[in-house]
Amino acid sequence: MTDARRLVLFVTLAAALASGCGPKKAKSAPTPSSEALVVLLPDAKSGTTGKAQASNSAGAANLTAARESTLVLTSQKPGAVTVLSEDEINRIFGAALSALPPAPRHFTLYFRFESDELTDESRALVPEILSTVKQHAVPEVVVVGHTDTMGRSKKNVELGMKRAATVRDLLIGAGLDRKLIEVTSHGERDLLIPTPNETPEPRNRRVEISVR
């Protein structure tokens, strides 16, 4: 299931989570009588809602639009689908939603030809990367170096590592803890733009950073 984000919230006793495809979040607000309120919310980053289904042994209810909800009891078919207001969402789930960690962020930095020197535009992204890291209580930063297909494959692995190390050192110099950063190289094995061998392609000369 690609890019689907799943989450269970324990509001009072236990939580129920609907399953489905597409970027989505299904929240559950149970009551002491073994009821579970299942709500479909858009993905916080993309705004895409996707679909979800709440089911038990007695039946199922399909949720296909933002803020659609159904009440699920232990031994009864899920209730009719209704749409909650933004105020109701905030009242029921506000505290839990505010406690969620930020969604993972991905950045791509580009390099000059046959160099481990960043372009000016990519260097300017460093403050935004650092700001993103600070939004995570326990951040993980993965830095992966890439090259185009010019030159030998082994040398490109080395160049990719040099590029990743350059970005790592730049982040450390800007205040990021070295222990938070994982560095690796894919060389020319993971091209952003597929090309034949010995083809210069600026968009393949890059470092990809994941912050989660």
Write down the pLDDT at residue 25: 46
Write down the pLDDT at residue 53: 87
| Separation of CA 188 from chain center | 25
Write down the pLDDT at residue 45: 64
Write down the pLDDT at residue 6: 35
Q: Are residues 81 and 150 in the same domain?
A: no
Q: Are residues 32 and 120 in the same domain?
A: no
Q: Are residues 165 and 75 in the same domain?
A: no
Q: Closest by alpha carbon to 62, among 52, 77, 71?
A: 52
Going by their DSSP bridges, the two strands 59-63 and 105-110 should be labelled as unpaired
**Distances in whole angstroms, Cα of residue 114 to Cα of each of 108, 146, 171:** 17, 11, 22
- The last residue of a domain, from among 98, 114, 143: 98
Write down the pLDDT at residue 177: 92
Q: Are residues 201 and 127 in the same domain?
A: yes
Write down the pLDDT at residue 33: 52
Per the structure, the complete domain to which residue 190 belongs is given by 105-211
Q: Closest by alpha carbon to 17, among 34, 33, 40?
A: 40
Residues 171, 180 contacting (CB under 8 angstroms):
no
Q: Looking at residue 115, which CATH number applies to its domain?
A: 3.30.1330.60
Question: Is 129 within a domain?
Answer: yes
Q: Are residues 195 and 159 in the same domain?
A: yes
Q: Are residues 85 and 46 in the same domain?
A: yes
Q: Which residues, in sequence order, are CB contacts of 35 under 8 Å at separation 6+?
A: 71, 72, 73
Domain count, the chain: 2
Q: Are residues 84 and 110 in the same domain?
A: no
Q: Which residues of the chain have pLDDT under 50?
A: 1-25, 27, 30-32
Q: Are residues 161 and 135 in the same domain?
A: yes
pTM of the model: 0.60
Write down the pLDDT at residue 135: 86
- The last residue of a domain, from among 66, 98, 130: 98
